[in-house]
Chain A
Amino acid sequence: MNHISPVIWQFLVKWLTNFALLPPEASKIAPQMDALLFFMVLVSLIGLTIVVLLVTSFSILYRKKRHPVAVQVEGSTLLEATWTIIPLGLFLVMFVWGALIYFRVFTPPANAMNIYVVGKQWMWKVEHPGGQHEINALHVPTGRAVQLTLISQDVFHSFSIPAFRVKREAIPGRYTTVWFEATTPGTYHLFCTQYCGTNHSQMIGDVVVMTPEDYRKWLTSSSSGASLAQNGERLFASLSCAACHNARPDARGPSLANVYGARLALSSGGTVIADDAYLREAILNPSQHVTQGYAPIMPTYQGQISEEGVIALIEYIKNLNSDYRIEQTLNTTDLPPGSEGTTPATKTPAAKGPVSKGKVKP
Chain B
Amino acid sequence: MSENTIVSLPDQSTARIPRDNYITRENGLLSWLLTSDHKRIAILYLISITFFFFIGGALAGLIRLELLTPQTDLMATDTYNKVFTMHGVIMVFFFLVPSVPATLGNFFIPMMIGAKDLALPKINLLSWYLYMAGGLLALYTMAIGGVDTGWTFTTPLSTHYVNTNVLTTGLAVFIAGFSSILTGLNFIVTIHKMRAPGMTWFRLPLFIWAHYAASILMVLATPVVAIAILLVALERTLGIGVFDPTKGGDPLLFQHLFWFYSHPAVYIMILPGMGVISEVISTFSRKRIFGYTAVAFSSVAIAVFGFFVWAHHMFIMGISNYAVLVFSLLTMLVAVPSAIKIFNWTFTLYKGSITFETPLLYAFGFMGLFTIGGMTGVFLGSSGTDIHLTETYFIVAHFHFVMVGGMLMAFLSGIHFWWPKMTGRMYPEKISQLAAVVTFIGFNLTFFPQFILGMLGMPRRYASYPPEFQVLNVFSTAGATILGVGYLLPVLYLIWSLRYGEIAGNNPWQATGLEWQTQSPPLTENFAVMPVMDHEAYDYDWLEKQQKKEAHRAG
Residues in chain A within 8 A of chain B (CB atoms)? 7-8, 10-11, 14-15, 20-23, 33, 36-37, 40, 43-44, 47-48, 51-52, 54-55, 58-59, 62-65, 67-76, 79-80, 83-84, 87-88, 91-92, 94-95, 97-107, 121, 154-156, 158, 160, 162-163, 165-169, 171-174, 176, 189, 191-202, 204, 284-285, 302-303
Contact = CB atoms under 8 A, between A and B. Distances in A.
Contacts of B154: 155-156, 194-195
Contacts of A285: 248
Contact of B353 (A70, A80, A99): A70
B383 A176 contact: no
A158 to B, nearest CB: 6
A105 B384 contact: yes
Does more than half of chain B's interface fall in helix, strand or loop, or is it mixed?
helix
Interface string B116-134: 0000000000000000000
Q: Among B293, B339, B541, which residue has the most Cβ atoms of chain A within 10 A?
A: B339
B375 A197 contact: no
B81 A198 contact: yes
Interface in B242-295: 245-246, 248, 251-252, 285-288, 290-294
Contacts of A33: 384-385, 387-388
Given A58-B352, A91-B336, A51 B346 contact: yes
Interface string B159-181: 01110000000000000000000
B376 A167 contact: no
Interface stretch (B207-215, B450-458, B487-495, B498-506): B450-458
A40 B456 contact: no
Interface in B373-399: 375-376, 378-379, 381-388, 390-392
B157 A155 contact: yes
B259 to A, nearest CB: 14
Contacts of B203: none
B351 A70 contact: yes
Given A73-B287, A73-B290, A101 B335 contact: no
B332 A95 contact: yes
A166 B455 CA distance: 12
Nearest to B287: A70
Contacts of B353: 62-64, 67-70
A76 B346 contact: no
Contact of B465 (A15, A201, A302): A201
A204 B466 CA distance: 10
B437 interface: no
Contact of A98 (B4, B148, B354, B384): B384
A14 B469 CA distance: 10
A64 B318 CA distance: 56
Given A87-B339, A91-B335, A173-B251, A193 B460 contact: yes
A87 B337 CA distance: 10
8 contacts: A99-B382, A101-B383, A105-B387, A121-B161, A155-B160, A172-B245, A197-B161, A285-B248
Interface of B: 3-6, 72, 77-78, 81, 148, 150, 152, 154, 156-157, 160-162, 245-246, 248, 251-252, 285-288, 290-294, 315-318, 321, 324-325, 328-329, 332-333, 335-336, 339-340, 342-344, 346-347, 349-356, 364, 367-368, 371-372, 375-376, 378-379, 381-388, 390-392, 452, 455-457, 459-468, 470-471, 474, 540-541
Nearest to A200: B461
Given A193-B459, A201-B463, A154 B316 contact: no
Nearest to B331: A95
A194 B376 CA distance: 20
B336 A84 contact: yes
Given A10-B468, A83-B343, A167-B316, A36 B384 contact: yes
Given A44-B375, A168-B316, A200-B462, A94 B471 contact: no
Contact of A62 (B72, B285, B339, B379): B285
A71 B352 CA distance: 6
Contacts of A163: 457
Given A44-B376, A302-B246, A65 B4 contact: yes
A75 B290 contact: yes
Q: Among B248, B333, B346, B463, which residue has the most Cβ atoms of chain A within 10 A?
A: B346
Q: Among A21, A67, A166, A197, which residue has the most Cβ atoms of chain B within 10 A?
A: A197
Contacts of A204: 466
A10 to B, nearest CB: 7
A91 B152 CA distance: 28
B384 A74 contact: no
Contacts of B157: 155-156, 195-197
A72 B457 CA distance: 49
A75 B294 contact: yes
Nearest to B463: A201
Contacts of A63: 4, 353-356
B384 A48 contact: no
A163 B458 CA distance: 11
B368 A51 contact: yes
Nearest to A164: B388
Given A84-B340, A285-B248, 19 more contacts: A37-B379, A48-B375, A52-B368, A54-B346, A55-B346, A75-B344, A80-B294, A88-B336, A99-B325, A156-B317, A162-B457, A189-B457, A197-B157, A198-B77, A198-B148, A200-B81, A201-B462, A201-B464, A201-B465
Given A36-B385, A75-B292, A195-B150, A171 B375 contact: no
Q: Among A23, A47, A87, A88, which residue has the most Cβ atoms of chain B within 10 A?
A: A87
A64 B472 CA distance: 41
B474 to A, nearest CB: 6
A99 B383 contact: yes
Nearest to B345: A55
Contact of B388 (A65, A74, A167): A167
Given A40-B379, A95-B329, A172-B156, A64 B4 contact: yes
A65 B5 CA distance: 9
Nearest to A9: B471
Contacts of A21: 452, 455-456
Contacts of B5: 64
A154 B161 contact: yes
Contact of A92 (B246, B252, B332): B332
9 closest A-B pairs by beta carbon, nearest first, are A173-B245, A162-B457, A101-B384, A98-B382, A75-B291, A98-B384, A193-B391, A201-B462, A11-B471
